[in-house]
Amino acid sequence: MTSETTQKFYYPSEEVVKNAAVSGMEAYKALVAEADKDYEGFWGKRAKELIDWQTPFTQVLDESNAPFFKWFADGKLNVSYNCLDRQVQKGLGDKVALIFEGDKGDIAKVTYSDLLTRVSKFANALKAQGVKKGDRVVIYLPMSIEGVVAMQACARIGATHSIVFGGFSAQSLADRINDAGAVLLITSDGQNRGGKALPLKSIADEALASGCPTITSVLVVKRTGAETAMVAGRDIWADEIVAQMSDVCEPEWVEAEHPLFLLYTSGSTGKPKGVQHSTGGYLLHAILTMQYTFDIKPDDVFWCTADIGWVTGHTYITYGPLACGATEIVFEGVPTYPDAGRFWKMIQDHKVSIFYTAPTAIRSLIKAADNTPAVHPKQYDLTSLRLLGSVGEPINPAAWEWYHENIGGGRCPIVDTFWQTETGGHMITPLPGATPLIPGSCTLPFPGIQAAVVDETGTEVPWGQGGILVVKRPWPSMIRNIWGDPERFVKSYYPADFQGKLYLAGDGAIRDKDTGYFTITGRIDDVLNVSGHRMGTMEIESALVAHEKVAEAAVVGRPDDLTGEAIVAFVVLKGARPTGDEAAKVLKELQNWVGQEIGPIAKPKDIRFGENLPKTRSGKIMRRLLRQLAKGEEITQDTSTLENPAILDQLKG
Ligand code: ATP
Ligand code: MG
Cα–Cα distance, 588 to 217 (Å, whole number): 59
For the chain, list the domains and their CATH numbers: 14-334+418-506 (3.40.50.12780), 531-650 (3.30.300.30)
What is the atom index within ligand 1 of the atom nearest the CA of 264? 3
Chain centroid offset of residue 323 CA:
18
| Ligand 1 atom at minimum distance from 395 CA | 28
- Integer Cα distance of 47 and 305 in angstroms: 28
Question: Ligand 1: distance of its center to the CA of 394 in Å?
Answer: 9
Higher-confidence position of 371 and 39 = 39
Does 393 sit in the ligand 1 pocket, CB within 6 Å? yes
Return the pLDDT at 361: 95
Residue 391: nearest ligand to its CA?
1
Share of the chain above pLDDT 90, in %: 89
Q: Is the CB of 628 under 6 A from ligand 1?
A: no
421 CB under 6 A from ligand 1?
yes
- pTM, two decimals, is 0.94
List binding-site positions: 193-196, 312, 392-394, 416-421, 507, 523, 531, 534, 545, 547, 550
Q: What is the pLDDT of residue 640?
A: 85
Ligand 1 lined by 466 (C-beta under 6 Å): no
Q: How far apart are CA 212 and CA 431, in angstroms?
A: 45
ipTM of the complex: 0.99
Using alpha carbons, select from 171, 159, 155 the residue that is nearest to residue 119: 155
- Rounded alpha-carbon distances, angstroms, from residue 119 to 251, 280, 507, 596: 11, 20, 38, 58
Span 139-159, mean pLDDT?
98
pLDDT at 172 exceeding the cut of 80: yes
Residue 125: the pLDDT is 98
> For residue 50, how far is its CA from the centre of ligand 2 (angstroms)?
29
Given a cut of 80, whether residue 575 has pLDDT beyond it is: yes
Query: What is the C-alpha separation between 478 and 469, in angstroms, rounded?
Result: 15
- HSE toward the beta carbon, residue 448, CA cutoff 13 A: 23
- Among the listed residues 403, 420, 424, the one whose alpha carbon sits nearest the alpha carbon of residue 412: 403
Residues in the chain: 653
Rounded (10°) CA dihedral 460, 464, 466, 471: 40
Q: Which of 548, 464, 454 shows the shortest CA–CA distance to 501? A: 454
Closest CA to 194 of 66, 323, 102, 84: 102
Closest ligand to C-alpha of residue 422 is: 1
pLDDT at 372 over 90: yes
- Give the separation between CA 422 and CA 274, rounded to whole angstroms: 10
Q: In whole angstroms, how far apart are CA 594 and each of 349, 423, 478, 588?
A: 41, 34, 38, 10
Q: Ligand 1 center to residue 169 CA distance, Å?
A: 22
Q: Which residues pair with 528 in a beta bridge?
A: 535
CB-facing half-sphere around the CA of 645: CA atoms within 13 A:
9
For residue 51, give the amino acid letter.
I
Q: 474 with 69: CB under 8 angstroms?
A: yes
Residues facing residue 263 across a β-bridge: 275
The amino acid at 350: H
Full 3-state SS string of 454-496: ECCCCCECCCCCCEEEEECCCCCCCCCEECCCHHHHHHHHCCH
Average pLDDT estimate for 317-338:
97
> In terms of pLDDT, which residue wins out, 598 or 476?
476
DSSP 355-410: EEE-HHHHHHHHHHHHH-GGGSGGGS--TT--EEEE-SSPPPHHHHHHIIIIITTT
Share of the chain above pLDDT 70, in %: 99
Check whether 6 has a pLDDT greater than 50.
no
For the chain, the helix, strand and coil percentages under 3-state DSSP, each to the nearest 5: 35, 20, 45
pLDDT digits (tens, 9 = 90+) for 603-641: 999 999 999 999 998 889 999 999 999 999 998 888 888
Say yes or no: CB of residue 416 within 6 Å of ligand 1: yes
* pLDDT score, position 249: 98
Least reliable range by pLDDT among 212-221, 322-331, 532-541, 618-627: 532-541
Amino acid at 126: L
pLDDT by residue (tens digit) across 191-208?
999 999 999 999 999 999
Return the bridge partners of 55, or none: 76
pLDDT mean over 329-355? 97
Ligand 2 centroid – CA 392 distance (Å): 10
Ligand 1 atom closest to 266 (CA): 8
Residue 224 confidence (pLDDT) above 50: yes
CA distance 89 to 69: 33
Asked if residue 406 has pLDDT above 90, the reply is: yes
Count of other CB atoms within 10 angstroms of residue 523: 18
Beta carbon of 238 within 6 Å of any ligand 1 atom = no
482 lines ligand 1 (CB under 6 A): no
Backbone region of residue 304 per phi and psi (left: phi > 0; alpha: psi in -120 to 50; beta: other values): beta
Distance 264 CA to ligand 2 centre (A): 10
CA of 265 to the centre of ligand 2 (A): 6
pLDDT, averaged across the chain = 95
As a whole number, mean pLDDT of residues 522-546 equals 87
At residue 265, the pLDDT reads 87
Instruction: Please determine, for residue 283, whether its predicted confidence score (pLDDT) is greater than 80.
Output: yes
Residue 524 is predicted with a pLDDT of 87
**How far is Cα 411 from Cα 415, in angstroms, rounded to an integer?**
13
Which atom number of ligand 1 is nearest to the Cα of residue 417?
27
**CA atoms of 485 and 530, how far apart (whole Å):** 37
Ligand 1: atom nearest CA of 429 is 27
* Cβ–ligand 1 contact at 272 (below 6 Å): yes
pLDDT class for 7, splitting at 50, 70, 90?
Answer: low
User: If you take atom 3 of ligand 1, which residue's CA is the nearest one?
Assistant: 267
The 10s digit of each residue's pLDDT in 450-486 is: 999 999 999 999 999 999 999 999 999 999 999 999 9
Pocket test for ligand 1, best of 263, 266, 315, 417 (most atoms within 8 A of CB): 266
The ligand minimizing its distance to the Cα of 268 is 1
The residues, any chain, with a CB within 8 Å of residue 94's CB and separated by 6 or more, are 111, 112, 113
Q: Is the CA virtual torsion 295, 297, 300, 302 positive or negative? A: positive
pLDDT tops 60 at residue 365 = yes
Q: How many CA atoms lie within 13 A of 384 on its CB side?
A: 19
Q: To test the ligand 1 pocket, which listed residue (360, 520, 525, 542) has its Cβ within 8 A of the most ligand atoms?
A: 520
Residue nearest to atom 16 of ligand 1 (CA): 392
- 57 CA → ligand 1 middle, Å: 32
pLDDT of residue 2: 37
Is it true that the peptide bond before 474 is cis, omega within 30 degrees of 0? no
Query: 95 CA to middle of ligand 1, Å?
Result: 34
pLDDT of residue 469: 98
CA pair distance 645, 610, nearest whole angstrom? 13
Choosing from 420, 493, 618 the residue with most ligand 1 atoms within 8 A of its CB, the one to mutate for a pocket test is 420
Q: Is the CB of 428 under 6 A from ligand 1?
A: no
Ligand 1 centre to CA of 120 (Å) is 34
Contact 388, 413 (CB under 8 A): yes
Q: Which residue's C-alpha comes closest to atom 17 of ligand 1? A: 420
Centre of ligand 1 from the C-alpha of residue 650, in Å: 26
Query: Using a 6 Å cutoff on CB, does residue 552 contact ligand 1?
Result: no
Nearest CA to 638 among 211, 265, 261? Answer: 265
Q: Is 394 in the pocket of ligand 1 (CB under 6 A)?
A: yes
Task: Report pLDDT digits (tens) over 416-438.
Answer: 999 999 999 999 999 999 999 99
Annotated binding site for Mg(2+): 545, 547, 550
Q: How many CB atoms lie within 10 A of CB 298?
A: 10
